[in-house]
A and B are shown apart, each in its own frame.
Chain A
Amino acid sequence: MADPLIQTKNLGRTYHLGDNVVPALRSVSMAIEPGEFVAVMGPSGSGKSTFMNLIGCLDRPTGGEYWLAGENVADLDIDALAGIRNRKIGFVFQTFNLLARTTALQNVEMPLLYSGIDSANRRERATARLTDVGLAERMDHTPSQLSGGQQQRVAIARALVNDPVLVLADEPTGALDSRTSIEIMSILQDLNTAGITIVIVTHEADIAQYAKRVVTFRDGVVLKDTPVTSRLFASDILKDWENPAEAMQ
């Protein structure tokens, strides 16, 4: 196997709140290989969000080392990190974070604005990604004209538009009903099958079952790191949902 996509060594992050020193993440050493599908779990305050922010290059560690796709990113400055996020990482958020009164197409094009890609190319790539997530017909709709599931699909298209090596999804199903959640997990599983490494944060154990590996945080350290033994496949469940009779047999 090639180098790990994500490799951390004693990764730590300490916050200074006034005189209090809060070690949000104490010392995490972990490797995530290309093509993995990792679910990060843990109660609030466990350090899982801090970990996600660090591997998403949104924050800089106060200790330890972090290599992303072979590049040591722990010491990069703020603007260099912005470039890494833009080119290598796709973000999916719990609340979608689409720009209001802005069409789906323009929302998906947004990361490309910061990669210096010309407008014809932007349009072409955004259109392709929206088609991939099944929204070819709704490219000119604004978020208020789309359902929650559709909005999250726009957000996924946006995360994919710059061909990232890693997709980070923070509670991607947190704001969705169970049926729509499974649809979104189905899309993520398809992406993973296509070779994209995915890390999601979730507090729902059944959502974690769609991943291949579950990492549980507690008190700023990794408590458990186990492969998923009885993995769920969203496409099968959706099929069953459509043909309840078949599922009963």
Chain B
Amino acid sequence: MNLLVTIAVALRALRVNALRSGLTMLGIIIGVAAVIAMVAVGAGAQERVNAQIESLGANLLIVFNASSRQGGAQGGSGTRPNLTLGDAVALQAEVDAVELAAPNVGGRAQVIFGNLNWSVTIQGTTPEYFPVREWEVVEGRAFGPEDVRGATKVAVLGQTVVENLFVDRNPIGETIRIKKVPFRVIGVLATKGQSSFGQDQDDVVLIPITTARKRVLGTNSKARPDSVNIIFLKAVNAERLKEAEEAVNDLLRQRHRIRPGEEDDFKVRNLEEITAARAASQKILTVLLSAVASIALLVGGIGIMNIMLVSVTERTREIGLRMALGARRKDIMVQFLVEAVTLSLIGGFIGIVAGLVGAAVIGSLADWPVKIQPTASLVAAVFSGAVGVFFGYYPARKAARLDPIDALRSE
């Protein structure tokens, strides 16, 4: 019997029991849809993490002040302000693998424009900050070295600040007040989005570091006047990141006169470590979800086997008749296998569509990035076909091994 005819016969048999066929397919549909949606969601999450690593700057090193320890009590990060402007200058000048260094002081302050006000992170830094963070100024200009030297009262605003203070107005040239000090807005930063920790990176006002210290953040009486909170470093390239990290460590230990065996009073962080950990956790999530989806597919396959067994029992007489009229065992086998595979393939294709729709819905409802994986659809289609063959084989063999006389006699 040729395959097209067999498929036509199988489709007819499935149509006769449309409801049952549909319910049987449901198992496969759910399994495949789950696989497709989960893979899409997982891939989207992965992509977002990758994008974050990019936006953070893949070549980025961050130097923090270490926590202080007084009488056994461990203070928080940055409680021992030992990093200085001089460190930043030295790091940029003396470490070959470091291209740029941007010292940074920061704090929260109320920013006022007209009758609107907004509480925001104020960061005092140097012009190097922009290339180090790979952060473009999309309107106006960044501040330059002369602004740092002269401690001018100029500000570059993040997108969130612009949205909240200058609803529909162009902020360039306007004057805002930070702690009652008037600042002229000279630039607006590109949108950066959330950090990997969910902070809004665009909720920021950048001002020259000198101005920040003198006018805005006040001075900590205990701290040295040139102390900084953080130094952002840009390595020459990603390959030399490790080398840069070691050289920075050595240079800072030397500058801070830390003897061998003594603890560092600073910490060097490589952002990739943080994001890699997050990526790994998302990978585990994807694996877990895929496992759940595979179990759903397995259950769907068992459903097909169950229904095919019922079908073989119900249609024993038909099988006997077909055999009497000349069907060989192979013909019967193929007929039932094709039915099982047709069930699972149709289920698979509906599942793929449902999975894609589901992924899109999850994407829009949960504001979660979703990335459709064409290979996942292909694998799901092949896999659902395989489920049909695997779970259809036993019932089909059972049908093919019936004795025509007994089969014809059955009720």
Contacts and interface: CB of A to CB of B under 8 A. Distances in A.
B324 A79 contact: no
Contacts of B16: 100-101
Residues of B in contact with A, size category? 20 to 34
Given A59-B405, A114-B1, A116-B1, A91 B330 contact: no
Contact of A82 (B9, B12, B317, B326): B326
B362 interface: no
A83 B405 contact: no
Nearest to B330: A79
Contact of B322 (A79, A93, A110): A110
B5 interface: yes
A101 B317 CA distance: 15
B327 A97 contact: no
Contacts of A93: 408
A141 B323 CA distance: 24
A82 B327 contact: yes
Which bucket holds chain A's interface residue count?
20 to 34
A83 B408 contact: no
Nearest to A162: B326
B269 interface: no
Contacts of A78: 328-329
Interface string B300-331: 00000000000000000110011111111111
B319 to A, nearest CB: 11
A82 B328 contact: yes
Interface string A86-104: 1100010100010111100
A111 interface: yes
B405 A114 contact: no
Contacts of B187: none
Contacts of B326: 82-83, 85-87, 111, 114-115, 162
A58 interface: yes
B396 to A, nearest CB: 16
B404 interface: yes
Contacts of A86: 325-326
Interface string B349-367: 0000000000000000000
A113 interface: yes
Contacts of A59: 405
B2 interface: yes
Given A53-B405, A79-B330, A114-B1, A99 B321 contact: yes
Top 9 A-B residue pairs of the complex, sorted by shortest distance between their CB atoms: A86-B326, A114-B326, A111-B325, A79-B328, A82-B328, A97-B321, A113-B1, A114-B327, A58-B404
Interface of B: 1-2, 5, 9, 12, 16, 317-318, 321-331, 404-405, 408
13 contacts: A79-B329, A85-B324, A86-B325, A91-B325, A97-B321, A100-B16, A101-B16, A113-B5, A114-B1, A114-B322, A114-B328, A115-B326, A116-B1
Given A82-B323, A114-B1, A114-B328, 11 more contacts: A56-B324, A58-B405, A82-B327, A87-B326, A97-B317, A102-B12, A111-B326, A114-B322, A114-B327, A119-B5, A158-B325
